[in-house]
Amino acid sequence: MKNIKVKNLVLFVLLGLMCSSALSFAQRKGRLTHSTHNHKTKAQKEQMLDSTIVRKGIIDLQTIDMNKDGKVFQDQMDWNVISDKPGKCPLCKMVLSEVTLEVAKKNLLANGFKLNAK
């Protein structure tokens, strides 16, 4: 009787290990996702939308200034975060500062960013 209980315990442990390994493998291969991957919080969704104001490559301030008022909103810590509307930086959460295009240009050049030559 004692041998049967030990065998059952060993089988139970082995079965648990096999299931755990299979689950881990499936997650690594992207076949299974945790439910939080499919249900983003409101803050995560806002950050995804705001990430469009993180500028990469050659930055064109004239195009960013959509209302053509000669001003943009720029993060004073992440210089390449620029918008034509007020808001917060999706990277550091600082409030964007309103600056003229000339000031934004100086900030970008002083921090190693490339600009469109317009």
Specify whether 75 is located in the same domain as 57: yes
The answer to whether residue 110 scores a pLDDT higher than 80 is: yes
Domain that holds residue 27: 2-37
Query: Which of 103 and 49 is assigned the larger pLDDT?
Result: 103
Phi, psi at residue 19, to the nearest 5°? -65, -40
| Cα–Cα distances in angstroms (integers) from residue 42 to residues 16, 34, 46, 49, in the given order | 36, 18, 6, 11
70-94 pLDDT, tens digit per residue, is 999 999 999 999 999 999 999 999 9
9 and 66 both lie in a single domain: no
Q: Give the tens place of pLDDT for each residue, 7-52.
A: 777 767 777 767 666 666 656 666 555 444 556 666 555 545 567 8
Do residues 64 and 93 both lie within one domain? yes
Same domain, 22 and 62: no
Query: How many structural domains does the chain have?
Result: 2
Say yes or no: 48 and 33 in one domain.
Answer: no
Q: Are residues 79 and 65 in the same domain?
A: yes
Residues 79, 111: one domain?
yes
